[in-house]
A and B are shown apart, each in its own frame.
Chain A
Amino acid sequence: MANYLENIRPKISITQYRIALRVLIETFKGIKQAGIVNIFIIGTMAAILMIFGAIFRTSMSLSSLVNELGNVLEVSVYLKSSADPNQAAEQARQLSHVKRVKIIAKENSWENMRKDMQLPNIKNPLPDTLHVRVDSQKNIKSVADNLSKQSYVEDIRYAKDISEKIRVISDISHTATVIVLGIVGFLTMFIINNTIQLVIQSRKKEIEIMRLMGVSNWFIRLPYILQGSLYGMMATIIAIIPLSFLQGYIMQVHRFLGIPNSENSYWAMIFLLFVLSMIFGALGSLLSIKNKLKT
């Protein structure tokens, strides 16, 4: 017995495989033991994950909408009559967040206007104009402010209100996603933690015997951790069903608005749901069992 620390240490071999198999058996035993409670846990978690998934997916869709609209929005810069359009365009291109600058010569503008409005042949009253496209919707205001300070600018116009509203909606949806993510994490861990505590309570004697007979703490912990993870996984599978309907609806809206379809966002959401629910589930279990186990 003198070298028991060396002798008893299991070799990495078929023994480890058997232990892993036993951990799985114990995991399913725990799930079986929870009985009808399983349905409540998985159902509740599925509902929570569905709400999170819906908000997350909508937020991603809004982001692509915002980007699309942001690309359409541009600043119209009306130049002073003394300004050289090419020079002004060159200077505008040097400003940060400016993606593209297009010169609209006053002759062209006037010709178009005369045709559209059937105006008589009078002196051209229009100024030369620059159409300045910004790299991102959120930078429109700062670019417009910058342009208005330039010496060659007479006046500027852009859809200030729309831009502002889009930015606010986008910010709100992002914030909501983060808040809901926090709530989801907390609720998932809370539900799993309480459930696993109940399971642990019902298997208290078993745990004590295993501990006193030399079963390692990880062997005792792992089935509970896996159980929490499995709850997360099963809840995600259920949550995906209504979320796939939402995805179909979002695709229709995208097609209607001419926004590129975002199939990747859907798969990203599913992946995120699986990862988060399984991690939070495992953490909830780990917290329960850790407190119950001393050496």
Chain B
Amino acid sequence: MEQGFIALDGVSHRYGGQTAGPDNIVAVADLTLSVNRGEFAAVVGPSGCGKSTLMKLVTGLQFPYAGSVAVAGQKVTQPVKIAGMAFQAPTLLPWRTTLENLLLPLEIVQPHRSQLRRRKAEYVARAERLLASVGLDGFGDKFPWQLSGGMQQRTSLCRALIHEPQLLMLDEPFGALDAFTREELWCVIRDLHATRKITIVLVTHDLREAVFLADRVFVMSARPGRILAERKIELPRPRDLDVTFAPEFQAIVHDLRAHIVSARQ
């Protein structure tokens, strides 16, 4: 496993200007974290701890005022195009069908953008395969508002994967779903990670989710966010949902929970 596929070193970031002041919110301070290639990392922490800032720093939507961020061995100085993103809201475009929504990234990102016309059939086939892999075969013609919340979120995941990124950034992607749908999607993500061997960073406040899915869990402190603890999850893969009821699983969750409680104080 390649070390340090994502490497944050002493990163500090604040919104609203470079100098300290009452209006400036220090989002993260002296954040150091490293994720290996192909690893599934989860970041947990109290709300407002700068988890979303972490997402933006890694994908190159924001740049730190101190420290350095590198992805795939390169310092992040512009948006990282090898990343796909999905959020709590599926953010699908209501005027496009599910399939057209999936193709959106290909209309933006190079080299696909300039090949779109030529390779259209191939891209459509790819999108349909992707939909089938998350259990949505045959839903390509439907509009997003004709899909349930869980199906919309699956579509959003597919959209994040369509340009075959090496890195998938997930910001509380299951936060708005009911418990059963959420566990269903855990399995979808687990299988995507297993088959595609991509690096995934999952930001969440659900500890069970983090422990079930991740190889490694990072606990962040309250703002300004730092990494308080790092925990390797050595539960054997492939993991079944039943593992969430096993005592060793519960023990890890309890242990992490204690860190979060102390982080909130």
User: Do the two chains belong together in a single complex?
Assistant: no
